[in-house]
Each structure stands twice: as structure tokens, then as C-alpha cells.
Amino acid sequence: MQVRSVLYLWRQLMLSFTWRTLWPTLLAILLTMLMVLLMAFVLLLALGKVEEVSVHLLVAIIRPTAQEDLSAFYAQSVSWPEVKQVRYVFPEQAAPSDEQLPMEARQYGYFEVQLREGADRALIEMRLRAQVPWLQVIPRERGLLRRVWQDRPTLRPIVFSGLSILFLACLAVFYIALHRLARDWMPELELLKLSGMSERMLSLPFVLLALLSGALAAAGTVALGSLIPPLIRRIPAVNMLVPELRSAPLAGELGLVAFAIGLGLSVLIGLMGLVAADRCLGQLSLAGPFAPKLARAKAQEKGESQPHEEDLQRLERQ
């Protein structure tokens, strides 16, 4: 009987959302999605997972080199199984290039090496440094977030503090939304409590609603993470911040980490639902009978019945 009452109340909670109670919940979900993505990216940065994984490798010639050596390197590099294509860029083409090139590369030219997989980049770089002393691998420009994280470690406590503040703000907004909803349902909660339901059972619908909101935030984070690679290619500002996420495998790893963090956070959001409901239920015995909500009072004056009034009366009789 109590299980049916819990499910009924949960269904009525879902149907009773108004803009007054809906907008804080939507705001909390959006803030949670943003926070979880930032937390996942910072975690990957701290673990050293955010590295350049581009399939394009620029190799500069740093000193005068005979044509025979250039041809020999070309023949050797195209035979490597990890390499898909090699192209030599002459000094005349390198001089006006927009690439981040050292002076020697503009003077002697460079090679563009296209790899089959971005994961092979580290192996090819190590092989080039060990076998070809007159070549220098040109590092790609790092994204703004990665550059700040690696070059300015004193800012890391500030990053963690900002994430902590955003985390507490998300929980606070969820609590406010759930507490408002529980306050709106005080007359119905009092009726169900008088019918014999315990306070713990009455708080379960709010916990389920909070868990559902957290799960929606986690799922939305995964969907947003899958949109990051195309957004980086289309929006220069995003490309400036995190160009490393152009890599689909890294973006997928970010989505998985974010989903795991989101699921853990949904448990805390469920606790917010429990706290918000318990606080309102604790006021029932102190404040006495609650007046019906304004819409319900007007309906009673007109002799009309609320959509769920008959179900509540049936629960009271049982």
C-alpha cells in the first residue's frame, strides 16, 4: 500500500511542476553539466591524459642537409607502418607559412608527417629524436587551459576552489528547488501522513525526483561531451581553450569520466531531496494543519474537484 502511495505521489510531483519550481531545477541541471565537464577535464589534466594526439606531425630541418639524406629519410619514413603520408615543404614554401616554425625550418624547409593514429605520435617522435639528429619535432601550440595548468601551477588551488564553489552552488540550487516543491505539497503530505504513511516513505518521492534530476544531468553531460569535437572545429574560441579535444578518443574519455562523476553527484543530489523533504515534514507536527493551496481553495469554493483529490481521499480512507 505504501509503495503505491509513494509511486502515486512521485507521479503527481512530476506532473505538478510549474515555472516557479521548474526554472531552478533546469538551472541546477545546466550548472551541474558545466561543472562535471570542468571537473572531468581538470582530472584528465592532473593525470596527464590531455596531450597532443594530432595525426599531423611537423618535423623541421635545423641545419644544411644534402639532398641524398633528405631522400633517404623520406624513403625510410614512408616505410614505417605508423606513417600514412610524408610531404617535404621547400624553404620557399616554409618562409611565408602560418605554422609556428623555428627560424631554421623557414630557412631549410620541413617535413609534414601524417600518422595513421594519433596514439602513435609519441612513438614516432621518440624514433625521430633517436635516429635523425638533423631533424627537430615542432611542438603544436597548446590550448589555453592546458598551458595555464602546466605553466602556472600556483593557479591550481584557485581552479579547485572555483570548482568547489560551483559544486556547492549546484547543490544549493537543487536544494532550493526541491524545498519549494515540498512546501507546495505540504497539505497533501499532511493528509498522507494522517493516513498512516511514515515520514521516511513520504520523503522517498522527493529523493527519487532528485536522483532523476542528477541522472538527467549526467546523461546531458555525456551528450554535451560528444558535441565538443565539432564545436572546436566551428568555434575559434573553444578551439583556443581546448584544441586537444579535437581528438575523438580523448573527447570520448572525457565523456566517460564526466558520466562517472555525474552518477556520483546524483547520489548527493538525492540526499538534497531527502534533506529538503525531511525539513518540511518536520514542520508538520509543529505548525498544525496546513491551509490548502490557493488553486485548491478556489476549486473547493466553486465545488470543483482537483485532478488528484479523489485519489488522496481514497488513500486517506485506506
Contacts of the segment 310-313: beta carbons below 8 A, 24+ positions apart: 311/8, 312/188, 312/191, 312/192
Residue 244, CA distances (Å) to 216, 223, 239, 240 in order: 27, 18, 8, 10
Give residue 293's pLDDT: 47
Same domain, yes or no: 166 and 231 = yes
Q: 184 with 245, same domain?
A: yes
Other C-beta atoms closer than 10 Å to the C-beta of 145 total 20
**Domain match, 81 and 180 both:** no
* Last residue of one domain, picked from the residues 78, 113, 139: 139
DSSP 3-state percent helix, strand, coil across the chain (nearest 5): 70, 5, 20
At residue 97, the pLDDT reads 58
CATH of the domain at 81: 3.30.70.3040
- Could you tell me if 87 and 201 lie in one domain? no
Write phi, then psi, for 99 (nearest 5 degrees).
Answer: -65, 155
Q: Tell me, yes or no, whether 162 and 267 share the same domain.
A: yes
Q: Is residue 144 part of a domain?
A: no
Per-residue pLDDT tens digits for 147-156: 777 778 888 8
Nearest Cα neighbor of 45 from 257, 307, 289 is: 257
Beta bridge partners of 86: 113
Q: Is the CB of residue 197 less than 8 Å from the CB of residue 2?
A: yes
Last residue of a domain, one of 117, 139, 161: 139
Check whether residue 100 and residue 179 sit in a common domain.
no
Q: Name the grid cell of 204.
A: 522517498
Question: What 3-state class would DSSP assign to 89?
Answer: strand
Amino acid 91: pLDDT: 80
Query: Which residue bears the cell 549546484?
Result: 170
Tell me whether residue 96 is exposed, middle or buried, using C-beta atoms within 10 angstroms of its C-beta: 0 to 12, 13 to 18, 19 or more.
exposed
Please answer whether residues 120 and 82 qualify as being in contact, where contact means their C-beta atoms are separated by less than 8 angstroms: yes
pLDDT at 309: 53
- Name the stretches of the chain with pLDDT < 70: 1-2, 49-54, 94-102, 118, 139-144, 233, 238-240, 243-244, 246-249, 284-318
Domain identity same for 36 and 68: no
Domains: count for the chain: 2
Regarding whether 276 and 214 lie in a shared domain, the answer is yes
Domain coverage including residue 113: 56-139
pLDDT digits (tens, 9 = 90+) for 269-300: 888 888 888 887 777 654 444 444 444 444 45
pLDDT score for 275:
86
**120 and 179 share a domain?**
no
Last residue of a domain, one of 108, 139, 170: 139
Predicted confidence at residue 234, as pLDDT, reads 75
